[in-house]
Amino acid sequence: MSDPLYPQVELLRAVGFAAERHRYQLRKGADRTPYINHPIAVAELLAQVGGISDLATLAAALLHDTVEDTKTEPDEIEDAFGVEVCDLVVEVTDDKRLPKAERKRLQIVHGPHLSERARAIKIADKTCNVRDITHTPPSDWSMERKIEYLDWAEKVVSACRGVNQPLERYFDEVLRRGRDELEKPAAPATGVGAMVVPVSRIAGVGSYKDRPVVWGDSPDGGLAALSMRGPGGNWSNMNPALAVNSAVPMDRSEFATTFATWFKDDLETSVSATPESQPGD
């Protein structure tokens, strides 16, 4: 094309097409951002980190989820953007008729056989997903599921390597940071003097202003601990203004009395014993 603005115009058309097709979709992360943010991030990563300026690759990155996750047909991509872009989008599109586990397996199997441009899109896609799962994961994903996704993404990228070293190095760094973030010990509850208290047996459970609360026996016997679920699923002392002085042993009746005195009418609790278990089981 002789028009010097042609590449910019085509990319803007791809952004507009993808935005229209994804217009009702949100990302699964806790912040529920518009879905279009994801393909834009993938294309940006290819350009900024991978140094890729190939128009078809960047357009396909912007469109890479339209066939898989919307009602868009490949023919529509071909009519709007040409065979080259359409073929790349189809290369990176899963067959949604297959079970999810099989689709994930095939991404690993097919990785080495994709074109170089499709493999670069795959690497950028998984990099953005790992980054999102590290910082804004879906609110209902367990730690195990997050780590399983990172493990799977690593396998997919391993099958796609050999196309763009800067992009691959960046994925490795994002993955490393993700593992460090997900596997680091959870921060204790906020507040001066907040601390983690080991609980060997739950003595009672309840709630305070819709927050789960548990008190129980310490491993060395006799020491009661008032706790609430904290970051990362750990159990930590509540704000010290509300927490028992963990250095002072109490029997269960003393603890229940003190507990009720603090919260008075706000407290809804059961003081009956519960089966032996660990918080978070």
Among 156, 183, 210, residue at a domain's last position: 183
Claim to verify: residue 179 and residue 133 sit in the same structural domain: yes
Claim to verify: residue 146 and residue 238 sit in the same structural domain: no
Claim to verify: residue 133 and residue 235 sit in the same structural domain: no
Separation CA 93–CA 74 (nearest Å): 10
Claim to verify: residue 158 and residue 234 sit in the same structural domain: no
Domain total of the chain: 2
Claim to verify: residue 107 and residue 163 sit in the same structural domain: yes
Claim to verify: residue 179 and residue 205 sit in the same structural domain: no
CATH code of 101's domain:
1.10.3210.10
What pLDDT is stored for residue 81 in this prediction? 97
Amino acid (1-letter code) at residue 28: K
Among 183, 215, 250, residue at a domain's last position: 183
- For the chain, strand residue ranges (E) read 201-208, 211-217, 224-229, 235-237, 267-270
In a domain, 91, yes or no: yes
Handedness of CA 17, 18, 19, 25 (dihedral sign): positive
Domain ranges, residue 234: 201-270
Claim to verify: residue 153 and residue 228 sit in the same structural domain: no
In a domain, 275, yes or no: no
Among 183, 211, 243, residue at a domain's last position: 183
What pLDDT is stored for residue 3 in this prediction? 77
Show which residues are catalytic.
Answer: 68-69
Start-to-end CA span in the chain (Å): 63
Mean pLDDT of each 10-residue bin along the chain, 281 residues long: 81 97 92 94 98 98 97 97 98 96 97 98 98 92 94 98 98 96 64 38 48 48 43 40 39 52 41 32 29
Handedness of CA 146, 99, 38, 44 (dihedral sign): positive
